[in-house]
Structure 1
Amino acid sequence: MRMRTVTVTGHGSAPAVPDSAVVRVAAVRRAAGVAEAFAAVSASVERIGEVARRHTEPHRIASQGLNVWTWHDNQGEARGFEARHGLAIGCPDLTAAGSLLTDLAQEIGDALQLDGVTLEVSDPAAAQGRAREAAYADARERAAQLAALSDATLGAVQQVVEGGGARPMETGELARAASTSTARIEPGETRIGAGVTVTFELL
């Protein structure tokens, strides 16, 4: 007789507090010619790198794209060229990220463009474990309900497959700060997600 089974996917999550950050910025410069725009943005990027190395390790500073295009005024007329060079700067903690943002704003000035700050959990293993446990419990509960609806009970586990179910992170807020103070980044709380697909025997 063929074994009857039920396969379900459980989802779970666990809270975690972000403790590191990736700051995404760009240098943007305009000039009459391509070469001038490129040279100006390159100089700004070099300065950004110098500031960033005061707050993080050099290997955590990475270019994210370099573009040069024709710049048009509000009437649609070509006025020159605009160059943009983006960078992602990984910071070991939120205090370093806040200090980095403050120094960049003060030292790079109007050539700086802030693209965003992504907060991360540097060691998510513990939260992932709790999320996995919650996902397995959810899978068992779902399977038990389906078994009852089928006039059966759950038997032994036949297969467990991990994957799916990750939830987007809810990041903290980047607080506004005056130019004379250090930008404060609020970590808030994020949730680490997990998904588990389990096959149970039906008795």
Structure 2
Amino acid sequence: MPKRTVTVIGTGRAAVTPDVVRLDLRVGHDAADVASALSGASKGIAAVGTVVRSQGIADADIRTLDATVTQRYDNTGTAVGFTAQQRLGVTVRRLEAVGSVLESAAAEVGNALLVDQVRLDVADRSEGLARARDAAYAEARTKAEQYAALSGSELGEVLGVTEAGATPLPAARAMGLAAREMAASMPVEGGDLEITASVTVTWELR
């Protein structure tokens, strides 16, 4: 005779205090040919990397995200050249420094620099995720105990545990704005962020 079981899903949340800001910076360059477009974009993003380092950002907190080249057309549909873009990911570990990082980068390459993303995050999510998992499992057990009681049973041993996944911190905000415009009004308030975990647990019913 198969075992009687109850399977429930528990969700847990944990508030964390953000301690880093993640920036996606993009530099574009227009040119008549691919090589010139790539060269211009590369020089621009290299200059941004240099000036960002001068603001105290460590090499480990700077990484190339991607590079693209697209053909440009005028309003008649005639090809007129190419646009190359390169993106740089920068992790700023002092929230109050975000404005100065953007301002210095914009001063170096002007409006060629766009900000695609500004995202509050935590450098180490492990403690918050552990608390969210604890809360998720506790909720699952409370539900299972209720269902067991309603069916005139008691919970037995745990037969299976599956994590449905941890929800990351809030999704990035796509900006697409000139860095110079953003830097002028870029006070970053940390507040609280939330990490969510979900777990599916199966108990034997006795």
Distance 1:179 1:189 in 2: 22
Q: Aligned pair count?
A: 201
Distance 1:162 1:93 in 2: 37
Distance 2:167 2:144 in 1: 22
Q: 1:45 to 1:201 in 2, by over 3 A?
A: same
Q: 2:201 aligns with which of 193, 198, 201?
A: 198
Q: Map of 1:115-126 to 2, 5 A cutoff?
A: 115-126=116-127
Asked if residue 10 in structure 1 is aligned to residue 13 in structure 2, the reply is: no
Asked if residue 185 in structure 1 is aligned to residue 185 in structure 2, the reply is: no
Specify the alignment match of 1:139 in structure 2.
140
Specify the alignment match of 1:104 in structure 2.
105
Identity rate, percent: 38
Check the 8 A contact 2:159/2:204 in 1, yes or no. Answer: no
Structure with higher strand content: 2
Q: 1:125 to 1:69 in 2, by over 3 A?
A: closer
1:72-105 deviation digits (Å, cap 9, x = unpaired): 1233222211111111112223223332112112
Q: 1:123 to 1:196 in 2, by over 3 A?
A: same
Q: Mind listing any 5+ residue stretches in structure 2 that lack a counterpart? A: none
Distance 1:52 1:182 in 2: 19
Check the 8 A contact 2:100/2:183 in 1, yes or no. Answer: no
Check the 8 A contact 1:147/1:153 in 2, yes or no. Answer: yes
Distance 2:183 2:123 in 1: 30
Specify the alignment match of 2:78 in structure 1.
77
RMSD between aligned alpha carbons? 2.7
1:43-96 deviation digits (Å, cap 9, x = unpaired): 111101111212311122211111222111233222211111111112223223
Distance 2:172 2:66 in 1: 26
1:90-149 deviation digits (Å, cap 9, x = unpaired): 222322333211211222212112111122112323322321221111101211222133
Distance 1:70 1:52 in 2: 30
Q: Mind listing any 5+ residue stretches in structure 1 that lack a counterpart? A: none
The residue matched to 2:164 in structure 1 has which SS?
coil
Check the 8 A contact 2:99/2:183 in 1, yes or no. Answer: no
Q: 1:139 to 1:62 in 2, by over 3 A?
A: same
